Amino acid sequence: MAARDDATGNRAHPMMRAGTWDGPNPARTWTGRGGGPMMPGVARTDFSYLAHMVAHHQEAVAAARQLARSERPRMRAFGRGIVATQTAQIDQMKGWLADWYPGRSTDVVYRPMMRDLTGLSGDRLDRTFLQDMVVHHMAAVMMSQQLLARGSARPQVAELARTIRDDQHAEIFQMRRWLRAWFDASWHPGGPGMGPGMMW
């Protein structure tokens, strides 16, 4: 039987392994946007950052693949770009984990941040993806910035963190532009789960 969260009654956070991801696109089990993987200590070390970012990227790739059925060519292209870029980064991070930390478990506790997109289509698919992926990208930007602020022991990891931070920061603004243009909506930075300093 799955463990329960005392405060919310939600199922305990699923276990993520760097290299596997249980479920094609699980429904969110976290409380409030921005409450996903931003747990204390996630970016405290290179190992922790890499293991958590693999899990984070795997969720993004699974969600982006759902955009193959979007009616908007720009969304389909955007999804393909996320899949290509983040799959390559996953492979790189998994390689580093295997080379630098042989025999060490890469299991991490990870809360899914994306809603289940499998039953959505048309505008509902695009809008839900954009709203959730803005927050998902924010988490990756914050994780990367935290690692860079603390300092990485390996220049390769620092360079990857800078790339993730800068690329996903730019994509956040692109997604917010689409939300405004297509749905007369935007992601509101004062939403539940977001703290001070998250003004994008």
Q: What is the pLDDT of residues 138-196, one digit of tens each?
A: 999 999 999 999 999 999 999 999 999 999 999 999 999 999 999 997 655 433 333 33
Q: Which residues contact 199 (CB under 8 A, 6 or more apart)?
A: 189
Per-residue pLDDT tens for 37-81?
A: 455 578 999 999 999 999 999 999 999 999 999 999 999 999 999
Once rounded to an integer, what is the mean pLDDT over residues 86-93? 99
pLDDT the model gives residue 35: 42
At 135, list the tokens.
């927050």
Please tell me the distance from the alpha carbon of residue 96 to that of residue 98, in angstroms, as a whole number: 5
**41-183 belongs to CATH 1.20.140.10:** no
Tokens of 111: 């809360």
Answering whether pTM is above 0.85, one says no
Query: Where in the chain are the domains?
Result: 41-183
Contact indicator for 146, 158 with CB cutoff of 8 Å: no
